[in-house]
Amino acid sequence: MSDRSLPDGVERHEFEDETRLATRGPPVYGEPTDGDWRAWDPERSKLGGMFELGFDTGLTGGETVLYLGAASGTTVSHVADFAGPTYAVEFAPRPARDLVEAAEPRDRLFPLLKDARKPTTYAHVVESGVDAIVQDVATRGQADVAVRNARFLADDGRLVLAIKARSEDSTAEPEAVFERSLDRLRNAYEVLETARLDRFHEDHLGVVATPK
C-alpha cells in the first residue's frame, strides 16, 4: 500500500524486527511498544486493517471524530492518538469500563456510555460538524446507525465504516448483506470506496462515504 493515505501521527515503526503501523500514546491492549510508539494491530482493528489495505479514508490527523462502537478502546485509542477531539460511543457497560481506562491518559478521548442507535441521547454532548465518523458496531442495522448519525457530520466529512455481515444476517451470503447495507447507506451518503477486509477480518466490508 501507499503510506500517502495515512494520517499525520500514524507511521511505520520497527517492532521485534517487523515494520508495523503505529501511533504515539500509552499502550492499551498489550501491543508492542517502541519508546512512545505503540504498534497498531490490524487483526484487532477494522480501521487499522483499512489503513493496511490502502483505503483513502480522508483522515489526515487532527480532525474531530465521532467513533461509534468503541468497545474497550482498542481502535479508538489509536484514533485519539492522532486525531483531535474524539467522542467514543459504547453501549455495553463492561467494555465501557475498559474504554474509560484507555481514556484516562488521553485528554482528547471522551467516552460516552450511550447507544449508537439513539443519537439523540448524546446530541447535547457531540458537536455538530465533526470531520469524521468511524463506525464498528456489531449489531443488526449497521447502515441505519450510520444514517441516523449523519446529522453530526460536516458537509465535506467522511464516514469510515466496517460492515460485519454475520451481525446483520448469519445465514445470508455476505455479498447480499453488503449490497442491502450499501443501498440503505445511499439514502444519506455518497459511497466513495468499498473493499472486503478478509485479509484481516473475515466477512467484513470496509466503506468510505461522504454526506449527500
- Cell for 154? 460536516
- Cell for 190? 455518497
Distance CA 141, CA 137 (A): 9
Q: Are strands 189-196 and 204-211 parallel, antiparallel or unpaired?
A: antiparallel
- Cell for 156? 465535506
Q: How far are the Cα atoms of 44, 48, 51, 165, 206 from residue 197, in angstroms, in the given order?
A: 12, 10, 11, 11, 6
Residue ranges for the known binding site are: 74-75, 90-91, 115-116, 136-139
Q: Which of 195, 190, 122, 205 is nearest to 156 (CA)?
A: 190
Sign of CA dihedral 176, 158, 200, 141: negative
Tally of residues, the chain: 212
Q: How far are the Cα atoms of 77, 84, 119 from residue 22, in angstroms, in the given order?
A: 12, 17, 31
Residue ranges for the known binding site for S-adenosyl-L-methionine are: 74-75, 90-91, 115-116, 136-139
Distance of CA 115 to the CA centre of its chain: 16
- Cell for 109? 478521548
Distance CA 207, CA 197 (A): 10
Looking only at Cα atoms, what is the longest distance across the chain? Answer: 47
